[in-house]
Amino acid sequence: MKRTLAALVLVLAACSSEADLEPKSGIWNYNGSTLGTNTCGDNTPTDASGPFAITVTGPGTFTITDGDFMNAFECTYEGDSFNCPQRIAGSNKPEASIDATLFYNVSVSGTLDSETELSGTQTVDLSCEGSSCSLAVPLFFPQLPCAYTFTFTADIKA
């Protein structure tokens, strides 16, 4: 009986949820990335390295601010995982004289490797709106909508 109780206590301890790993607020380095899947042809934008800010905004949430995106965006974390739901990260008109606007919708998910390191995958979905998308799309991409992914790492600046 004592062995059964001890085994049960060990199993319950192993199954208990691990505490959330919280990223540190501050300026982080996006250390570049590697292109993964790609349905957008050869003209996928490069995913440059550079700084961004993480601000922990509450239990299980943080905000990312990056000059490459139109607005700051919210992410959630639990345990050692994080998720930043899809949002419009940018848009542009490839040609001012035609009715076509390209939209860049981005989502991010990954792992908090420590409070100062993370790794993940960024998914970019491209789409076009406007009556002249059929004219604009062949200039940049074989077809829209299309998508591509980048795997990346980041760490907090020392």
Query: What is the reported pLDDT for 18?
Result: 52
Distances (CA, A) of 76 to 1, 36, 68, 117: 43, 23, 21, 16
Task: Look up residue 20 and give its amino acid.
Answer: D
Per-residue pLDDT at 4 exceeds 70: no
Whether residue 107 is contained in a domain is answered as yes
Whether residue 52 is contained in a domain is answered as yes
Q: Is 36 helix (H, G, I), strand (E, B) or coil?
A: strand
- Furthest-apart CA atoms within the chain: distance in Å: 81
The structural domain count of the chain equals 1
Whether residue 108 is contained in a domain is answered as yes
pLDDT confidence tier of residue 7, bands split at 50, 70 and 90? very low
Q: Which residues pair with 27 in a beta bridge?
A: 53
Whether residue 148 is contained in a domain is answered as yes
Work out the burial of residue 128: count CB atoms within 10 Å of its CB; fewer than 13 is exposed, 13-18 middle, 19 or more buried: buried
41, 146 contact by CB (below 8 A): yes
Per-residue pLDDT at 77 exceeds 60: yes
pLDDT digits (tens, 9 = 90+) for 25-65: 999 999 989 999 999 888 776 666 789 999 999 999 999 99
Domain with 53 in it: 16-40+48-156
Whether residue 94 is contained in a domain is answered as yes
Q: Is 158 helix (H, G, I), strand (E, B) or coil?
A: coil
Count of residues making up the chain: 158
Q: Which residues pair with 81 in a beta bridge?
A: 78, 111
- The backbone torsions φ and ψ at residue 95, rounded to the nearest 5 degrees and listed phi first, read -145, 120
- Between 11 and 18, the higher pLDDT residue: 18
Whether residue 91 is contained in a domain is answered as yes
pTM above 0.85, yes or no: no
Query: What is the reported pLDDT for 47?
Result: 67
Query: What is the reported pLDDT for 10?
Result: 33
Whether residue 1 is contained in a domain is answered as no
Nearest CA among 105, 97, 110 for reference residue 151: 110
Whether residue 3 is contained in a domain is answered as no
Q: Is 13 helix (H, G, I), strand (E, B) or coil?
A: helix
Neighbours of 112 (CB within 10 A): 21
